[in-house]
Structure formats: C-alpha cells, structure tokens
A and B are shown apart, each in its own frame.
Chain A
Amino acid sequence: MAETKISEYVTLVSNDGYEFKILRSAACVAGTIRKAMDPASGFKEAIESRMTFENLNGLVLEQVCLYLYYHQKHAEARDVPDPDVPQELLLELLMAAEYLQV
C-alpha cells in the first residue's frame, strides 16, 4: 500500500509536543512502533511515518530514542557498557518500555 512512501526516518512525537526524528530501523526495535509503522496494515501512523504518544512526555521519549539508537549500535557487539540512564526517570522508562514492547 504505502510501499513507495516508506521513508528512512520516522517521527516520534511526545505528548508535550517534542518531535524526535529517528531512523526507522532503530525505531522498529520497539514492537509497538514496528506494528504501527507496518506499511501492510495501513494505519494512519504508517502512512504519515509519524507516531504520537499520548502517554509519553518529551523527557522519557528522548531516553527511549537514545536507547533505540544505543540498541541498534550495539546490536552485534558483546560486553557493551550499560546505558547511562538518569535515576529519576527509571520508573517512567520502565513503564514506557512495557508499553512500547522494547
């Protein structure tokens, strides 16, 4: 359906209006984003390559994006250093991870 429109980047939008443009391949590490962006299903997100998260704020989403890149970067490496995550966001990140199925 949207085969031709597949762009290399997708835009992730937080509930407070921050937009993160990240590589599609990195974004698709998250199950929820992958499904939403699946061109075969043809949801609004897939057509627009843009996904808005009503329950994630900019801070959390930034961390999520960092992690997605971090994951992609170290996909094949061993003995990777743990990502540096701000303590105060841990709980929220945990819930985001569950939600996004990372």
Chain B
Amino acid sequence: MIAGRGRQRIKPPRRGLHGGTDIDFEDTWGTIASAFREIHTKNASRLSYEELYRHAYKIVLKKKGDELYKRVSEFEHDWLRNEVRGSIQALFSPSLLANTQSLGGKTTNERRVAGEKFLKGLKQAWGDHQVCMSMLADVLMYMDRVYCQDQRVPSIYTAAMVLFRDDILNSPTSDDDGRVVLGLLNHVILNQIQMERDGEVIDKHLIKSCVYMLESLYDDEMEAEEQRLYTMSFEQAYLDTSRDFYRKEAEDQLRESDAGSYCRKARRRIYEEEERCKSTLLESTAPKIQKVVEDELIKSRIRELVDMDSGVRFMIDNDRLDELNLIFDLNARVDDKKAELTRALQKRIVDMGTDINDAAITASQAPAAAPASEAGDKGKAPVQEKSQNQQTVAAIKWVEDVLQLKDKFDTIWKVSFDEDQPLQTALTRSFADFINSTTFPRSSEYISLFIDENMKKGIKGKTETEVDLVLDKAIILLRYIQDKDLFERYYKKHLCRRLLMNKSISNDVEKHMISKMKIELGNNFTTKLESMFKDMTISEELTAGFKKHVAGLGEKDPKRIELAISVLTSMTWPLETMGSGDEEESKRQQCNFPPAIDRIKRGFEKFYNEKHSGRKLTWLAHMGSADLKATFPKVPQKDGTFKERRHDLNVPTYSMVILLLFNEVPAGTRLTFEEIQAETNIPHNDLVRNLQSLAVAPKTRILVKEPMTKDVKATDRFSFNEGFQGKTIKIKVGLVAAGNKVENDRERRETEKKNDDSRAFCIEAAVVRIMKQRKELSHQQLVIETLNQLVAQFKPEVPMIKKRIESLIEREYLERIEDTKVDSYRYLA
C-alpha cells in the first residue's frame, strides 16, 4: 500500500539531508531542553519525535555529541535535585522520620500510612523518571548509538539512573539530618514487612516496585551483579532483622505453645517468607531468607522442640501423624539425616519396647514366682500350670504388643515420614535393640510361641491371605532377632509338639511358614525343620505298611489294637525338650505296657527291623496318645435312668496304661499311687500329671481319688469312677500342662545351657573352617571372622570364642605361634 505509486520521473533537487546546514548548537539545545521539560511534565503528546530526533541527530553529526551528553546529564541532575527531591522530601512526615530512631510512640496504623505514602511517592518519582528517561533516550537514540558507543560512556539512560541514585536516594533526608533517603527507604520497607508478619495487610505491590527500583540500581559504576543496590543495602538489613525477629519468635513460641503448633507456625513462616519473596521482594532472596528462618526456627531449636513435653514423644503417643509429619519436614529442611528426630524416635521405640518387655516379665513372673522356685514340688503343680498359662498369655501379648508397636511406627513412617529410607533403618535398628535387649532374653521363645499359638488356634477360619499376614508378621519379628539359633531351638520344640499331637490346624500352613523362614533365614535354618516333616510322612507310610503287614499275618484278633506310629530321627527332633525336663529322668525308664499293647509293640519292632536293620527304636510313651472305647456300667443316674454309657476316650498313652490297669482288677478296687507306679513303671512326674487329669480335672474324672484333693500324693488311692457321666460321646483327656508354655526358669536355664553347647560346636566349626583356609591368623582377626561367619545364626560372646579356641588348641587342631607380637594361631592339619 504505497501511496504515490506512479513513478516519479522528475528527479528532485539534490539537497543534503540536513537542510539548513549550519545550525546553532545553543538554539537547538534550547529547543531540546524545553522539550525535555515538557516530557518531564508529561506533555509529550505535543512534541514531534521526528523533530527532536532530527535536532539531536544533527548535533551529533556536528560532532557535538559530548557537549550534548554533558548538557543532558546536567539537565537531569538539575531536574532531580530541584524538582523531584523537593517532592520526595515533602513526603517525610514527622512520624516517618521519628520511626527511624524508635519504633514506639506512633500506632502501627499511622506508621503504615506514613510509610506507604513515602513509598508511593518514591515509586511515583522513580516511575516517572524511568518513563521520561526512556523517552529521552529514544530521542537521543542517535547519540547513544554513535557517541556513547564510540566513547565508551554509559548510555544516557543508565547515566540518568545513576543520577537518580545519587541525587535522590543518596540525598540526605533533610538538611540537618545525616541519614539518606535510601536508608529511610530500607527502614520503611522492613517496617512494612514486620507489620505483615504481625498480621496486617500491606501494599505488597508497592513494596515490590520499590524493590525493583533497588534491584535495577547499582552501588557503583561497575554494575557488577552482586553490586545491586538491593543486594548491597537492603537484603542484608532484611536478613538481619528477620533473624532477630525469628529468634525472638522462636523463644516466645517455645515458651508459650506446644510443639505441634510451633511446627505449624514454623512451617507457615517458612511458607510466608517464600511467598513474601515472590510477592513483595525478589525471588533471589528466597533461599537466603529461607536459611535464616530455618536456622532460627528449626536448626537451633529442633532439639528443644523434639524434647518438649508436647514434642515427638507426645505426638507418637497420641498419634499426631500430621504433627510428626511437620517435624519431619522441618527437620529434613535443616538436616539431611534428621538426627534429632531419629534420636527421639529411637529413644521412644526403645522406651516403649522396654515397657512391653517389662510388662511381659511382670505378667509372667508375678504369679510364677512361687512355683518357679520349687517346680519339682508336685503340690504346686496346678498353681504352676496356671502361672504357665499366664506366661503363655504374656508371651502372646508381648508379641502382639510388639507387632502393634511395629504397626504404629510403620504407619507413622508411611504417613508422616514420606517413607524416608534412613528413618526406616533407624526404626529397624531400634526395634532390634529392644527385642534383643539383654534384660529380656525371651523374645525368641515368645515369637515361637506366638507362631505356635496361631498354628494351633489363631488361624482357624481365616482366609489364606489373613493367615499369610499373621505369618508375615511373625517373620518381621524374626528378622529382628539376633540369636536365631535360640529361636530355631524353640521353634523345633514347638513344631515337634504340634506334629506329634496333631495340634496343627493345617500342614500346608506349617510348610508355608517354613518356606517363608527359608527365604528369610536361608537353607541351613530350615533343613532340620523340613526333615521333621519328612519323618512325619515316612511315619505315615510306616503305619500304613504295618497295618497291611498285620492284616497279612491273618491274625483275626477281635481285641486288635491299631497302632499309629511316628518314627522320629533323634538328631533332628528335640526329643529331650519334650519331657518334663527333670535331670534325673533324662535316662527315661521304659514303662510297662499292658500285655495287649506290648504284643503289638513287639510286632512293630520286628516289622521295623526287617525294613531297616541296625536301627534302635526307643519308645517315647510320654508323647503318644490312645483312643479307648470305655464302657461305663449301669449305675443310677441323677435323672434316675439306668443306662450303660459308652465313651470314646482320647487319652495320653500313660493314661491309657493306667486305665487298662483298672481293667485287670475287679470293679471297685482301689489302687494306691505307689501301686500304680510299681505296676506301670511310669515316671513319677508323668504319673502325677496323668492321674491329675484323670482324677482331678472335673470334666474327665474317670477315676475317683481318695482323699478328694487337688494334689496327688504318694498315698492317694484311686478307683474307677463308675458313675462317670460325660456330656459327649467323645471325650478328650488333656494332659495337664501339655500345651506349649513359656518355660520356667529352670527349663530356661537348661535350654540356654543346651543352646550354649550347640553354639560351642558352631563356634568350633567356624573357627576350624576359617583356620583351614587361612592356616595362620592373629587372634583378633580370628575372632572377627568368626563373628562374621556366625552373624546369621547368633551373636557369640567373645569369651566363649576364646574358650573354644583354647579347647581346639588342647585337642591339637590349632597351635599358638611363638614369638609374635600379637597372639596368633596356626592350623594343624
């Protein structure tokens, strides 16, 4: 769209671009200066840019650039000094000036209004200056381009900004005052920010523009990045006052409120400062002020905060998950490791764990104190039984408490701690600490008991996933256990009972558990457990085989007794722990079976020896049970009927032997305890317990005891209870104290002793393995390596290792190397 498209053929007269060539500098400058004044008073619309530009252009062309530059600078200098400064000074209200000295006196509102007025004025002046100068710079563009670049002087715009700094910001606030406007400006801004912190609404936008002004000005002519007026004069002052403010606030807050609200406040402050940097100040300040706030509110206070009455402990106890999250967040800000929080957490876990331990000990010891000391005394048996039940309950409760604690901290960890890895490690360590605490040696036993209880009862009617959950929990605890060999021992014992007595609800679950343990603890740990299962399977086959064998013999014996047998490998089954544990009974005498039983027993021995020669069968009657069909004669009943009653009795093998004894004697005969013992050769303790369950327990009182007391004495006499009446056809006679109980002290000592023995073998084996490989090794290294090897099983004590080494030297597996600085050993092949 170009007007005048018609080609102009006529060549216009050639004139230079600059019409009347000689121009008068002073005249031109006069025009320009008056135009500038118009611009400054915002009357630019009347001016022609082209005209002004042309004037400036001409002056520069006339090589008067330097003169023009100087004139413009002077012009601006005068303008700022005379016009702008006056209007700024007019804004200083007395209250504003007074503020610099003291904060008191005026109300905040007055101060705020005065401050805002000042800021507004300054902002206005700055804004005007900027607009005018950019217009001037536009007009003087040619000068900037040609003169300033050639002479390497700052552009006129920059020069004018510097002038603003010198003439306005660095001018004294009043004639008789040493302070400069800049200082006042800083002070006012800080004051405003303080007001905002105190909850008042301030004009953020206004402050922001003032801050921008400070940002765009530099302290010196170099204009280096860090020399910005903002950084130089304002930021430091801001950080300092903030530091003071927050230090004081932290003190006040810690004194006045609880940890939770302190955290909330601290977090809000941090957020506020961040926002403030965005909305009011500069974002470049954000990290700096952040650090100040974090230092003052968190870093120097975190310890106090965590340890407060309402600190971490309170939060944990009261499930203040959000507050814990706050603390975590705050702590994480200042410390990657979150040391304080970790410390408090660990302490709390160990405390709570110790509480649980103590509770378990008191629960198990309070009633058990008396019988534990005289466990051998048969008179105390029922009491002991009761206390043992209590111990079992205590054990289960302990496990459940620990699991609950674990759940609690897991939730806290998940919800409040963002699943922080180091914290999890710390939690795990704390759990391991209290579970393995030396004051509480029972954790292995308790965990095994817990599994036992669940295998027997707990998992009944539960879905697979629920069962899985329970097992996993047990595994979790197992992970914390240090002395895994001790656990293995207990687990074996409990498993053994479950298998032999068919207490286990589901074999699948048992196997599942073992496979879980295998994953967790490795093959070594579970081989023996697995072989126990294998024994059970083989036994089933044997039983079936024997049945077939008997049938094959063609003996049509109406009184035939069916035999179900479990053949156990004595190495893998903790048989010794199955007995009542009396030392003197460790060589268990064989009990006299009634002839019918004895015959079938011999039959099986023969059958077994045919299959596997060279194996010795030891009958463990105390672990067996028998099903009897008992017929009770017609005797008058309470309801007046005469009826023969039949019951299927499931009794322990010994009870069966005792009952069969009464088959042999005429009805109504009384047998004394001693007679029974002589007749059956049942060990004393077992006999007591069997008689107790037959004659004392109210539901299964098949025998009548005289005198009718709870305890069984050597002189007591027993007779068949013809008037026995059971509610059901099938009656199970439980053996007193047959369940899996917590051990009493004596048993524990024994278990520990056995454990120590087996540990001794483990240590020796480890030492030999190491020495075989190394041939020569210093004592210290040997101990360390041994510890390393055994860490998966248990943590041996150093004196024990020493002892084992000595014993190996005695047996000439090792020898001491003479003439070495440190104790060293050599392996003797």
Query: Interface of A with B (CB < 8 Å)?
Result: 9, 16, 18-23, 31-32, 35-36, 38, 40-47, 51-59, 62, 65-66, 69, 88, 92, 95-96, 99, 101
Contacts and interface: CB of A to CB of B under 8 A. Distances in A.
Given A32-B141, A101-B141, A44 B48 contact: yes
Contact of B53 (A23, A32, A40, A46): A32
B45 A47 contact: yes
Nearest to B136: A41
A2 B453 CA distance: 88
A69 to B, nearest CB: 8
Contacts of A52: 48, 50
A3 to B, nearest CB: 14
Nearest to B141: A35
Given A22-B1, A31-B141, A35-B49, A43 B44 contact: yes
Contacts of B134: 40-41
Contact of B131 (A9, A16, A40, A45): A40
Contacts of B665: none
Interface string B9-51: 0011011011100000000000000000000000011111111
10 contacts: A20-B3, A40-B134, A41-B135, A42-B135, A45-B49, A55-B19, A58-B4, A65-B2, A99-B57, A101-B145
A54 B45 contact: no
A61 B397 CA distance: 101
Main secondary structure of the interface of B (DSSP, over half): helix
A29 to B, nearest CB: 15
Nearest to B35: A43
Contact of A66 (B2, B12, B139, B141): B2
Interface residues of B, number: 31
A20 B6 CA distance: 12
Contacts of B19: 54-55
A43 B135 contact: yes
B53 A18 contact: no
A46 B50 contact: no
Contact of A54 (B12, B14, B51, B138): B51
B683 to A, nearest CB: 107
Given A40-B131, A40-B134, A42-B44, 14 more contacts: A9-B1, A18-B4, A20-B4, A36-B53, A47-B45, A52-B48, A54-B54, A55-B54, A58-B4, A58-B8, A58-B12, A59-B11, A62-B8, A66-B2
A27 B372 CA distance: 108
Interface string B124-157: 0000000100110011011001000000000000
- Report the 7 A-B pairs with minimum CB-CB distance, sorted nearest first: A43-B49, A36-B49, A35-B138, A41-B135, A55-B17, A18-B4, A57-B12
B4 A95 contact: no
Contacts of B142: 99, 101
Q: Which of A43, A44, A52 has the most CB of B within 10 A?
A: A43
Nearest to A32: B53
Nearest to A88: B11
Nearest to B51: A54
B141 A21 contact: no
B437 to A, nearest CB: 77
A88 B47 CA distance: 34
Nearest to A51: B50
B49 A44 contact: yes
Contacts of B2: 20-22, 62, 65-66, 69
Contacts of B54: 54-55
A79 to B, nearest CB: 25
Contacts of B47: 43-44
B674 to A, nearest CB: 120
Contacts of B145: 101
A20 to B, nearest CB: 5
Given A38-B138, A40-B131, A62-B4, A55 B45 contact: no
A22 B2 CA distance: 6
B555 to A, nearest CB: 112
A65 B4 CA distance: 11
B56 to A, nearest CB: 11
A44 B45 contact: yes
A62 B1 CA distance: 11
B3 to A, nearest CB: 5
A101 B134 CA distance: 17
A95 to B, nearest CB: 5
B138 A41 contact: yes
A42 B2 CA distance: 26
B52 to A, nearest CB: 8
A54 B1 contact: no
A1 to B, nearest CB: 8
Contacts of A43: 44-45, 47-49, 135
A4 B636 CA distance: 119
A64 to B, nearest CB: 10
A6 to B, nearest CB: 15
A98 to B, nearest CB: 9
A31 to B, nearest CB: 7
Given A43-B44, A92-B17, A21 B50 contact: no
Contacts of B49: 35-36, 41, 43-46, 51
B130 to A, nearest CB: 11
Nearest to A35: B138
Contacts of B57: 99
B195 to A, nearest CB: 34
Nearest to B13: A57
A72 B4 CA distance: 20
B12 A16 contact: yes
Contacts of A9: 1
Contact of B45 (A42, A56, A65): A42
Given A40-B131, A66-B2, A88-B11, A45 B48 contact: yes
Contacts of B12: 16, 57-59
A96 B17 contact: yes
B1 A18 contact: no
Contacts of B3: 18-21
Contacts of A96: 17
A102 to B, nearest CB: 13
Nearest to A9: B1
B407 to A, nearest CB: 65
A5 B269 CA distance: 47
Nearest to A47: B45
A21 B4 CA distance: 10
B484 to A, nearest CB: 76
A44 B38 CA distance: 12
Contacts of B14: 92
Contacts of B131: 40-41
Contacts of B53: 32, 35-36
Nearest to A1: B45
Interface string B420-443: 000000000000000000000000
Contacts of B17: 55-56, 92, 95-96, 99
A70 to B, nearest CB: 12
Nearest to A42: B44
A55 B1 contact: no
A95 B58 CA distance: 13
Nearest to A23: B1
Contacts of A31: 141
B44 A55 contact: no
